[in-house]
């Protein structure tokens, strides 16, 4: 599963881990990605979305229909 939110577009950030001796090694800061299933009443089917925690809260606030409209407007396939 790729660390990419379909709704908000959040992706991993990159930076350094700095040790006690101040050596720097590369690391990734992954967003909190979850796979969530929603019932889509207009199409009579379930949709499975890969969302960040903030994306899940956004769907709860605006509704699944509006969220899918945003995903499709960004060019996402659902």
Element (H, E) at 47: strand 45-52
Q: What is the mean pLDDT of residues 37-64?
A: 96
Q: What is the pTM for the complete model shown?
A: 0.85
- Determine phi and psi for 48, rounding to 5 degrees: -110, 120
Q: What number of H helices and E strands is found in the chain?
A: 2, 4
pLDDT at 2: 78
pLDDT at res. 1? 54
Please say whether the beta carbons of 59 and 7 come within 8 A.
yes
């Amino acid at each position: 599963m790729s660390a990419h939110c379909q709704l908000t577009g959040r992706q991993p950030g990159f930076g350094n881990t700095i040790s006690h001796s101040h050596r720097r090694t590369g690391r990734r800061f992954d967003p909190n990605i979850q796979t969530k299933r929603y019932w889509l009443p207009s199409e009579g089917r379930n949709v499975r979305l890969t969302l960040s925690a903030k994306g899940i809260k956004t769907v709860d606030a605006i509704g699944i229909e509006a969220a899918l409209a945003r995903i499709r407007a960004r060019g996402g396939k659902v």
